[in-house]
Structure 1
C-alpha cells in the first residue's frame, strides 16, 4: 500500500468538499460540480489502490504457498 497515494487522495477529497461547499455558499454551479468531480476522481483512485493492495495480497499468498 502506498500511504502517500492514500494521503493525496484524502487531500483531494477534502479539497473537493471545500470547493463544493464554497460553490453552494456562492450559488456557483460550476464550482459545486468541480468539487463533486474532484471527490469522484479521488474515490476512483482509492478504488485503484484497493485493487493493487488486494492483488499484492493474492500474489503474496501464492508465494507463501510455494515456500511450503
Structure 2
C-alpha cells in the first residue's frame, strides 16, 4: 500500500515510493529481487486477492 493507493508492484521497480510499514508511511526504493519464484494466493478479509512468495511478511493488526 502506497500513499497514492494500491499499485502493482511490477510497475514500481526502481522508483521511490512512500509505503505503509504497519505504523507509518516510509520512503523506500523498490527493487526486483527475483524471477520465476513460486507464488501463493492470499485472500484477505475484504475479499481482495494478493499473490506473493511464501516467505512474504505481512503486518497484522492487534497481533
Shorter-chain TM band? under 0.3
Please, what TM-score do these two structures have when normalized by structure 2? 0.18
The one of the two structures with greater contact order (alpha-carbon pairs below 8 A, sep at least 6) is: 1
**Greater Cα radius of gyration, structure 1 or 2:** 1
Please, what TM-score do these two structures have when normalized by structure 1? 0.18
Of Structure 1 and Structure 2, which has the larger fraction of its residues in helix? Answer: 1
